[in-house]
Amino acid sequence: MTGKLTHLEDLARLTMENSAEGRQELLREVTDMFMTAPEALNEREVAYFGEIMGGIAGHVESMVRQHLSETIATVDNAPHDLIVSLASDEIDVAMPILTGSQVLQDSDLVKIVENHSQDHLNAISQRPTISETVTDALVVKGDDQVLGTLAGNNGARFSRGGMETIVERASDNDELNQTLSSRADVPDDLAQDMFWRVSWAMREQILGSNENLGDEQVDALIEETEKWFTEQKGKRSLDPAENFIVRKEKMGQLDNGLLLKLVREDKIPEFVAGLGRLANVDTDTVRQAVFDSSAEKLTVICKAIDVNYDVFGEIIFCLNMIEERESTDMEDLLGVFNRITPQVAQKALRFLRTRKNLMMKTL
């Protein structure tokens, strides 16, 4: 290696070369020398190469720096200071380093996130693995494109706080919500929040194709939730509406026809209790669904328990006493009810059944 360093010293003396062509040729020769066997170089030798290459790189055009970046991006013992300098360069130069170099440390990446362009952040979001420290910075500083790239990267790890931040930032972004919903590491309570706020088209796709929501996991939560509901019911007396529904159930008269009769007669407490009993959903959740002007959860519940189209239409018509919905909104709602499948609705209903229990866990 002594001969190589002697030659390198000769080249170093040529760094006073003033012509662009001369500097370019000099950088090429030094880079070629380094790339001959970089793994055989010791720490001092690597640093020396980095000093020479870095000194020249600052005086050549970006296309030459880009070539240098592409050449050394995958070298595991490339000079650290040179790598950081290239990673902080314009995006065409920085891209290979930001996406592929393992020389960059988390502290380097966080500084770049805090001080460079969204293009730089998007490149970092494409790295094969990204630590929680770096994703914490990205979810705060990144734009929608960066967050979308990050959410779609299965090699990115999120802290609880980082996941909460990206889920919150996705509150008005259906595409980002959909991407996040496909991740296996989204906590169940946050997954529920995402589910109920995405558009209906996205919800149908999520429920139809997303295996990461885990039927077994959801079933376990359902079992735990039902146990909790049973315990709670044992601690209080049933109200008159619930008593009425229990009697109807014992007589075999609790069905969709009874629900329609109750809502026609404006017996809303009994209707709520009956719908909750048929769907195995707690009364508070059903009441919220009934009085929610969007009627999204009511649509899911009715579809899941096989209420037919005409009955559902009359139910929402009867509940629409204060005319909160325009006729076009009613038509859209009926269209959604007609379009979603019972399987999709039943899977969505699982989230309603577990929601209260999950919220209690996070308190």
Q: Write the pLDDT tens digit of every residue in 159-206.
A: 999 999 999 898 878 788 878 877 888 887 787 677 666 666 556 655
Most confidently predicted of 22-36, 101-115, 214-228: 101-115
DSSP assignment string, 143-195: -HHHHHHHHT-TTB---HHHHHHHHHHTTT-HHHHHHHHT-TTS-HHHHHHHH
Model confidence at 135: pLDDT above 80: yes
Cβ neighbours around 159 below 10 Å, total: 14
DSSP assignment string, 171-185: TT-HHHHHHHHT-TT
Q: For the residues 105-126, what does the mean pLDDT come to?
A: 97
pLDDT of residue 174: 79
Short-list 98, 37, 99, 97, CA closest to 68? 97
Lowest mean pLDDT among 136-150, 206-220, 295-309, 328-342: 206-220
Q: Which residues contact 282 (CB under 8 A, 6 or more apart)?
A: 229, 276, 353, 356
Lowest mean pLDDT among 15-29, 185-199, 249-263, 321-335: 321-335
Q: Both tokens of residue 121?
A: 């952040």
Short-list 296, 353, 305, CA closest to 329? 296
**R_g of the chain, CA atoms, integer Å:** 31
pLDDT of residue 358: 43
Q: For the residues 236-255, what does the mean pLDDT come to?
A: 79
pLDDT of residue 125: 98
pLDDT of residue 289: 84
Q: For the residues 17-29, what does the mean pLDDT come to?
A: 77
Short-list 199, 196, 192, CA closest to 217? 192
Q: Which residues contact 56 (CB under 8 A, 6 or more apart)?
A: 15, 23, 26, 27, 30
Short-list 203, 220, 210, CA closest to 341? 203
Model confidence at 44: pLDDT above 60: yes
Q: For the residues 230-234, what does the mean pLDDT come to?
A: 48
pLDDT of residue 73: 95
pLDDT of residue 292: 80
Model confidence at 316: pLDDT above 90: no
**pTM of the model as a whole:** 0.60
Over the chain, what is the mean pLDDT? 81
Q: Which residues contact 353 (CB under 8 A, 6 or more apart)?
A: 222, 225, 226, 280, 281, 282
Confidence of residue 18 (pLDDT cuts 50, 70, 90): low
